[in-house]
């Protein structure tokens, strides 16, 4: 496909292909001159209708390192703030002959909808509570770098599952790569319909974090998710204190995890609520790969742009930067 809207768009072979390309892109970060001519002449618009630090800057860096012309737009400062519809906005930028539109939007399904209206490639940079496929790819890249093949590995995803597009994309990609996945949330933040989904896709669910972390099935990695207070109208339950006691990766929980497996990995997509879903001691622990995830984000987004925009015979990276 010329779009990346859902993690379900990618077969195992396609995920592995992207992660392999990302590894060669990651090598560029060690070079003094990082730019390669792979996407010279291509134009990418990063349109962020919702705030972002990591995704927006890494897509911009990814495009620039591959010599594409990248333009950033946000709702504030664009004609969206004057009431222009998403359809008119999408068709307007598409009429400028851009090659790709990277979109973050607060409405689930917005990227799928935009892909029906435009001629260019559409890449989902996070749509509401639906999906965030490049986050799942960078998480898989980070996990594979440390754990090797993910077949049979036990990954535990913890937190505000109801509002998490990161969780939805991660479950799909991790299952695609053969991992065993357990998801944990308080009952109030467990999505409706998860019973049928978990049965169909073969992952486990639990309300009891300590039972999962201390259970018979050793944990290879624990992915903590942000409590998304901005998506909760009228406050949230459990309270912050109750949430941390029941579902936070506290220092004590990390110590118990490390005692069982010193190589356990701690992931968080960011931004972190330190002291709520993850203690500073866990966020900064030797087991934490939070900044590895950020670093992988640039490489993975380069790989995604390469696979969607470069010609089939274009080299992913090249030793020469002459003429760039």
Q: Which residue, 52 or 113, is less far from ligand CP as judged by CB? A: 52
Q: Which residue, 213 or 225, is less far from ligand CP as judged by CB? A: 225
In the complex, minimum distance from the CB of residue 169 to ligand CP, in angstroms, rounded to a whole number: 11
* Active site residues per annotation: 54-55, 82, 104, 132
Q: Which residue, 57 or 206, is less far from ligand CP as judged by CB? A: 57
In the list 269, 276, 298, 303, the residue contacting ligand CP (rule: CB under 6 A) is 269
In the list 7, 70, 135, 288, the residue contacting ligand CP (rule: CB under 6 A) is 135
Q: Is 135 annotated as a binding residue?
A: yes
3-state secondary structure string, the chain?
A: CCCECCHHHCCHHHHHHHHHHHHHHHHHCCCCCCCCCCCCCCEEEEEECCCCCHHHHHHHHHHHHCCCEEEEEECCCCHHHHCCCHHHHHHHHHCCCCCEEEEEECCCCHHHHHHHHCCCEEEEEEECCCECHHHHHHHHHHHHHHHCCCCCCEEEEECCHHHCHHHHHHHHHHHHCCCEEEEECCHHHCCCCHHHHHHHHCCEEECCHHHHHCCCCCCCEEEECCCCHHHCCCCCCCCHHHHHHHHCECHHHHHHHHHHCCCCEEECCCCCCECCCECHHHHCCCCECHHHHHHHHHHHHHHHHHHHHCCCCCCCCCCCCCCC
Q: Which residue, 230 or 263, is less far from ligand CP as judged by CB? A: 230
In the complex, minimum distance from the CB of residue 320 to ligand CP, in angstroms, rounded to a whole number: 32
In the list 126, 133, 191, 248, the residue contacting ligand CP (rule: CB under 6 A) is 126
In the list 271, 275, 280, 315, the residue contacting ligand CP (rule: CB under 6 A) is 271
16-24, 46-54, 81-89, 192-200 -> range binding ligand CP (CB under 6 A) = 46-54
Q: Which residues are near ligand CP by CB under 6 A?
A: 52-55, 126, 135, 269-271
């Amino acid at each position: 496909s010329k779009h990346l809207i859902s993690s379900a768009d990618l077969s195992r072979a396609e995920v592995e292909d992207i992660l392999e390309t990302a590894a060669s892109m990651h090598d560029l970060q060690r070079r003094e001159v990082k730019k390669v001519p792979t996407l010279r002449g291509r134009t990418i618009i990063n349109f962020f209708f919702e705030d972002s630090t990591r995704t927006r800057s890494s897509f911009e860096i990814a495009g620039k390192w591959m010599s594409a012309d990248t333009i950033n737009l946000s709702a504030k400062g664009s004609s969206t703030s004057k009431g222009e519809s998403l359809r008119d906005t999408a068709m307007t930028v598409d009429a400028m002959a851009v090659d790709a539109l990277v979109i973050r939007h607060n409405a689930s399904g917005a990227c799928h909808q935009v892909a029906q209206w435009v001629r260019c490639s559409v890449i989902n940079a996070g749509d509401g509570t639906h999906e965030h496929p490049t986050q799942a790819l960078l998480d898989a890249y980070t996990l594979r770098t440390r754990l090797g093949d993910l077949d049979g590995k036990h990954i535990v995803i913890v937190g505000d599952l109801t509002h998490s597009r990161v969780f939805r994309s991660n479950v799909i990609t991790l299952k695609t790569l053969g991992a065993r996945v357990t998801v944990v949330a308080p009952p109030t933040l467990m999505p409706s319909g998860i019973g049928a989904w978990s049965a169909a896709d073969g992952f486990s669910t639990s309300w009891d974090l300590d039972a999962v972390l201390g259970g018979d099935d050793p944990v290879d990695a624990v992915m903590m998710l942000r409590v998304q207070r901005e998506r909760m109208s009228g406050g949230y339950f459990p309270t912050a204190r109750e949430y941390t006691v029941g579902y936070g990766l506290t220092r004590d929980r990390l110590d118990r995890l490390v005692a069982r497996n010193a190589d356990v990995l701690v992931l968080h997509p960011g931004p972190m609520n330190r002291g709520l879903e993850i203690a500073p001691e866990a966020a900064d622990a030797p087991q934490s790969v939070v900044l590895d995830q950020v670093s992988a984000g640039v490489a993975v987004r380069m790989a995604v742009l390469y696979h969607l925009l470069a010609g089939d015979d274009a080299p992913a990276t090249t030793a020469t930067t002459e003429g760039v």
